[in-house]
Structure 1
Amino acid sequence: MTAKPVTITALARHLDLSIATVSYALNGRGREMKLPEATIERVCAAARQMDYRPNFFAHNLRRKHTDTVGVIFAALDENWAHRVLWGMTRVFDRAGLTPLLGVHFWDQAREEREIHSFLQRRVDALICFPQPENLDLYRTLIRQKQKLILLGDTLPDLPEASYAAWDSGEAARVAIRHLLASGRKRIAFVGPDPRMTMTKARYQAYLDCLAEAGLPLREDRVVWARSGEIPRDAVVRLVSQPASRPDALFVVNDGLALPLLETLTKVGVKIPDQIAVVSMGDLLASGHEAIGLTSMHEPCEELGEALAGAALTLIRKPNTKPLHLLIPGNTLTRRKTAP
């Protein structure tokens, strides 16, 4: 027959001490509460002897905290999420918090399930990569006073949401000006869902740079794709039309640019001789010698630290006004697709 776990009450009774004294000795606050060293040592020795194991779940429920944060990424197929998570853990580790991971794969219903699962586990905060389709869900969470932070982007119609994101509009200007300085005049734009704030910022940078250079906007050189999808056919059509064929592509992120480079090579486009390509994010694969994608370096670790810091702020000060954090980073890594 399996023995029942030893409770803190039984341990305190065995030692003839108060439950509070035993709790302080075991959770590392004994010296703070001015307990004698001999008492702390006696409690710890008895806990080992009696194989006492604290019930962290019950303890956290009493504290109304679980010391966990739910983190939902859009995908995990590149090293972007790894770098962001690395930055988060540097902050969470110091604060004694543990991130619980989820992924929505650009699926509206899946993200909703992941969020509800985390809420059932009573996470102290939620960090989510946003999808426009879940705007109403985010609004509901915020009305319910859930501690929600949007990861890497936000939505224009959601000013009440906290978020941390790369200040990528300014970074996009650096990338596009590099193409212009190299003599490219027929620059096309390729981007994902235009409903996202940071995508809008990058597109606005594209418009501004064309205007600065005195170049007209050609709508037939603008390609939009659904989030999570690669617009291969649309880009092939674009480069196959002599009247609209660009001499450069500005691609909103490396996740789009890398497969598009492969597609362009397959249809015989010489890069960068015929078409230069500049992107944003500087993923690990972008720097591979066989690829050499010119890309803006995204400060992912710093983004992760900012997200974790925002979560801590909302946990400790629930009445804090929405946090809108933009992380600077304007380093262009020049490689062979646009030297």
Structure 2
Amino acid sequence: MLNGKAAERKISVETVQRVLAAAKDVNYTPNALARGLRQKKTHAIGVVFPHLRNDWAHLIMRGVVEELGASETVPMIVCHHGDAELEARLLRSLVERRVDGIICNPLRNGMDRYRDVVRRGVPLIFLGDAPKGLDEIPCSAWDPAAVHLAVEHLLALGHRRIVYLGSRDNRVISEARRHVFWDSLRQAGLSPSRRDIILSSTSEDVGDGPLELLRGENPPTAFFVEYDDQAVSLYQLLDDAGVACPRNVSIATMGGSPRSVSAGCCLTTVSAPVVDEGRACAQRLMSMIDEPEHKPERAYVHGGSLLVGQTTGPVANSKPGSRGTP
């Protein structure tokens, strides 16, 4: 009667009103756990993030909540902070709480953890990237083809030696972004070198590799940076070394997070359709929950646009006397 099915069960309006009045008098609250046991659903999903910084998680959750809409399903948010053992505990805790499904931005090497979730009958979908060798687990991610927008912009400015700066990441989407970068240069008639790919230990670290290249022979005139966190770190590294952007070298990146406009500069970046990513991931997870036999494959969320900031400009050495010495 309190579940809105009185008419379906042919219960009179008068009886419904009396029960509702009595429930209000005693401040009755439905027991979601009991209802979950009866329905074999908890109406809760887990969302596993690496962090909550830079507004990314907030925008993902906006899309997730929009997709959940007026349903009874609520998200439970946890963060692993790059710690594999913590992620394992969090996944185990979500499974023990009988969540109906899990959205997870995965670490690079968690094959056993993720397969264990699936073995326990909990629908799992990867957000943003996926470890190699887990094709049986679907993934919803931003289309890596968006890399081309940034590279095309640099090429149009006359840059012919562009260095890729990313993290040492063997996940599917990260590797695909490197391939798009490589293919974009080749389509422009260039012959990129392996030494033009610099991979750091984390998505924030840049190391000394960029400065070494700038001080060597035939220095690059531009960097494409996979993550805007790294791009901010690169900009600060170059600024400390007296290398001006874009007068000495250009930087273009991806993501469009608040950090890209809060580091004393406005980075040229490709904005990510983050809300759409969250919405698409939630939609696919809910379809897996409602139709267990449905096994969606990897899917890309298209979109994003180039935002030209203060860190890209024409090739500096095309103007005599305009290029400084790093």
TM-score normalised by length of structure 1: 0.88
SS, match of residue 70 in structure 2: helix
How many residue pairs get aligned? The number is 313
Shift of the alpha carbon at 1:52? 2.8
For residue 312 of structure 1, what is the amino acid of its counterpart?
M
Larger Rg: 1
Aligned AA (2:284): A
Q: Report if aligned partners of 2:268, 2:308 keep a CA contact under 8 Å in 1.
A: yes
- The 8 Å contact of residues 232 and 263 in structure 1, kept in 2 or not, is answered as no
Which residue does 1:82 correspond to in 2? 58
SS in 1 for 2:195: helix
Give secondary structure in 2 for the equivalent of 1:191.
strand
Query: Who is 1:285 aligned against?
Result: 259
Identity rate of aligned residues, in percent? 32
TM-score by length of 2: 0.91
The one-letter amino acid of 2:280's match is: A
> What is residue 141 of structure 1 aligned with on the other side?
117
> Can you give the 5+ residue segments of structure 1 that lack an aligned partner in the other structure?
1-24
Alignment pair present for 1:26 and 2:9: no
CA contact (8 A) 1:88 1:305 kept: yes
Indicate yes or no: 2:219 matched with 1:245. yes
Aligned match of 1:7: none
Q: 2:151 aligns with which of 150, 154, 176?
A: 176
1:310 aligns with one of 258, 280, 284: 284
Which stretch of the first structure deviates more once superposed, 158-167 or 143-152? 143-152
Contact 2:268 2:312 in 1 (8 A): yes
Q: Does 2:46 match 1:70?
A: yes
Match of 2:184 among 195, 209, 212: 209
Task: Say which structure is richer in helix.
Answer: 1
Cα deviation per residue 1:90-143 (whole Å; 9 max; x = unaligned)? 112322211101111111111101101111111110111111210222123223
After superposition, the CA RMSD in angstroms is 1.7
Alignment check: 8 A CA contact 1:106 1:228 kept:
no
Structure 2 unmatched runs, 5+: 314-326
Partner secondary structure for residue 198 of structure 2: strand
SS of the equivalent of 1:26 reads coil
Partner of 1:221: 196
SS in 2 for 1:277: strand
Q: Give the Cα separation in 1 of the matches to 2:66 and 2:305.
A: 23
Higher relative contact order (CA 8 A, sep 6+): 2
- Note if 1:117 corresponds to 2:93: yes
Letter in 2 for 1:213: A
Quick check: 30-39 or 318-327, which moved more? Answer: 30-39
TM-aligned CA distance change 1:202 to 1:66, over 3 Å: same
Matching residue of 1:264: 238
Contact kept? 1:70, 1:100, Cα under 8 Å: yes
